[in-house]
Amino acid sequence: MRFGANVSIARGILGAISQAEKTGCQCFQIFSRNPRGRGERKISKEEIKQFKINLKNDHFLVHFNLHSPYYLNLASPDEKKWQYFISVLVKDLKKCEVLGSKFLVLHVGHHMGKGIDWGIKRVVQAIKKAFQKSKSKTFLLLENMAGQGTEMGFRFQQLAKIIQLSAISHKRLAICFDTCHAFAAGYDLRDKKALDRTLKEFDNIIGLKYLKLLHGNDSKKDLGSRIDRHEHIGHGKIGIEGFRALVNHPKLKHLDLIIETPHFGKVNWDRKNLKILRSLIRQ
Ligand SMILES: [Zn+2]
């Protein structure tokens, strides 16, 4: 298993690589654009060229993925916003191809009171449109969510349904599994037994072959709380034994794991968390 972190694009995509190197990442994730505010910082051809050269020079960092911005809601009932979000997805799928990322991670979205069945159909429609327009070869990774408010994608059944209904694009749809979100949604991960049960359920409902990426985050909140609060590895309710089981699990060994744990002060917390994860690997 390779370990990496979500690194900032505040200093551009080249700044992201140096941050990943400083942090001791073996893989990394960047946002496709400013995650919270609208608008997009253009990436120049020169930057893209240099980005690829820098990646090649650091043999660890060839594995990276993009993450869609948080505001993107493919289930939005507002027609104008919905069309805009689809256009963002199309651009970001293309950006993945240009930069050489195999994966774009996507939060499933909020149904805003319209109900889960309605919301899922809306998301499927949006995904189909985006793939038709972009003709992208990128894998769109649906991320399992905690289930806050009207957020969808917190039950494995909901993710499976999106994959099934998106018939045209299903070969380009897969899953990014977030440990904090899964735990908050009620899937236990606290030890080997619990992890085995959760993975079995995942396999029965979605299929493990769809699992392409891990987000490794501990959870500040309890099992089934449906509240999404990330915590440092081993310091939350999943705990160190849960992560020991995760990083050594034979069915997950081939995957990359990205941490999205909290940042504060001048300490490089990502570096610390990655060190903890590496120490858990059984030789
Ligand atoms: Zn995410």
For ligand 1, the distance from its centroid to the CA atom of residue 265, given in whole angstroms, is 23
Say yes or no to pLDDT of 170 above 70: no
- What pLDDT, on the 0 to 100 scale, is given for residue 137? 85
Per-residue pLDDT tens over the stretch 192-207: 999 999 999 999 999 9
173-178 and 139-143 as β-strands: parallel, antiparallel, unpaired?
parallel
For ligand 1, the distance from its centroid to the CA atom of residue 67, given in whole angstroms, is 7
Question: pLDDT class for 34, splitting at 50, 70, 90?
Answer: confident
- Nearest 10 degrees: Cα torsion 96, 62, 274, 103: 30
Token readout for 140 is 């769109």
For ligand 1, the distance from its centroid to the CA atom of residue 85, given in whole angstroms, is 16
Bridge-partner residues for 141, per DSSP?
105, 174
For ligand 1, the distance from its centroid to the CA atom of residue 46, given in whole angstroms, is 29
Burial of residue 229 (CB within 10 Å: 0-12, 13-18, 19+) is middle
For ligand 1, the distance from its centroid to the CA atom of residue 174, given in whole angstroms, is 14
Homologous superfamily of 2-280 in CATH? Divalent-metal-dependent TIM barrel enzymes (3.20.20.150)
For ligand 1, the distance from its centroid to the CA atom of residue 177, given in whole angstroms, is 9
The rounded distance, in Å, linking the Cα atoms of 263 and 18 is: 17
For ligand 1, the distance from its centroid to the CA atom of residue 204, given in whole angstroms, is 23
What does the H/E/C string look like for 34-78?
Answer: CCCCCCCCCCCHHHHHHHHHHHHHCHHHHCEEEECCCCCCCCCCC
What does the pLDDT average to over 203-224? 98
The domains of the chain are located at: 2-280
Comparison of pLDDT for 134 and 198, the residue scoring more:
198
Say yes or no to pLDDT of 36 above 80: no
What does the pLDDT average to over 79-100? 96
DSSP 252: T
- What pLDDT, on the 0 to 100 scale, is given for residue 3? 97
For ligand 1, the distance from its centroid to the CA atom of residue 141, given in whole angstroms, is 10
For ligand 1, the distance from its centroid to the CA atom of residue 106, given in whole angstroms, is 7
- What pLDDT, on the 0 to 100 scale, is given for residue 246? 98
Per-residue pLDDT tens over the stretch 240-263: 999 999 999 999 999 999 999 999
For ligand 1, the distance from its centroid to the CA atom of residue 108, given in whole angstroms, is 9
- Phi/psi for 42 (5° steps) reads -65, 145
> What average pLDDT is seen over the chain?
94
Is residue 117 a contact partner of residue 162, using CB atoms and an 8 Å limit? no
- What pLDDT, on the 0 to 100 scale, is given for residue 167? 78
Say yes or no to pLDDT of 40 above 80: no
* Greatest pairwise CA separation for the chain in angstroms: 54
Comparison of pLDDT for 100 and 264, the residue scoring more:
100
For ligand 1, the distance from its centroid to the CA atom of residue 70, given in whole angstroms, is 8
Token readout for 74 is 């493919």
Q: Which helix or strand (DSSP H or E) is residue 255 part of?
A: none
Say yes or no to pLDDT of 4 above 90: yes
- Whose structure tokens read 């985050």? 217
What does the pLDDT average to over 111-139? 94
Say yes or no to pLDDT of 169 above 70: no
The rounded distance, in Å, linking the Cα atoms of 245 and 267 is: 27
Question: pLDDT class for 168, splitting at 50, 70, 90?
Answer: low
- What pLDDT, on the 0 to 100 scale, is given for residue 264? 85
Is residue 28 a contact partner of residue 66, using CB atoms and an 8 Å limit? no
Say yes or no to pLDDT of 106 above 90: yes
Is residue 2 a contact partner of residue 59, using CB atoms and an 8 Å limit? no
- What pLDDT, on the 0 to 100 scale, is given for residue 39? 67
What does the pLDDT average to over 71-82? 97
What does the pLDDT average to over 72-80? 97
- What pLDDT, on the 0 to 100 scale, is given for residue 37? 73
Residues 152-158: contacts with CB within 8 Å, 24+ apart? 152/75, 152/108, 152/109, 152/110, 152/111, 152/116, 152/119, 152/120, 152/123, 153/107, 153/108, 153/109, 154/181, 154/185, 154/226, 155/185, 156/201, 156/202, 156/205, 156/206, 157/205, 158/108, 158/116, 158/120
Say yes or no to pLDDT of 166 above 70: yes
For ligand 1, the distance from its centroid to the CA atom of residue 50, given in whole angstroms, is 27
Range in 61-70, 157-166, 197-206 the model is least confident about? 61-70
Comparison of pLDDT for 270 and 264, the residue scoring more:
270
For ligand 1, the distance from its centroid to the CA atom of residue 208, given in whole angstroms, is 19
For ligand 1, the distance from its centroid to the CA atom of residue 283, given in whole angstroms, is 30
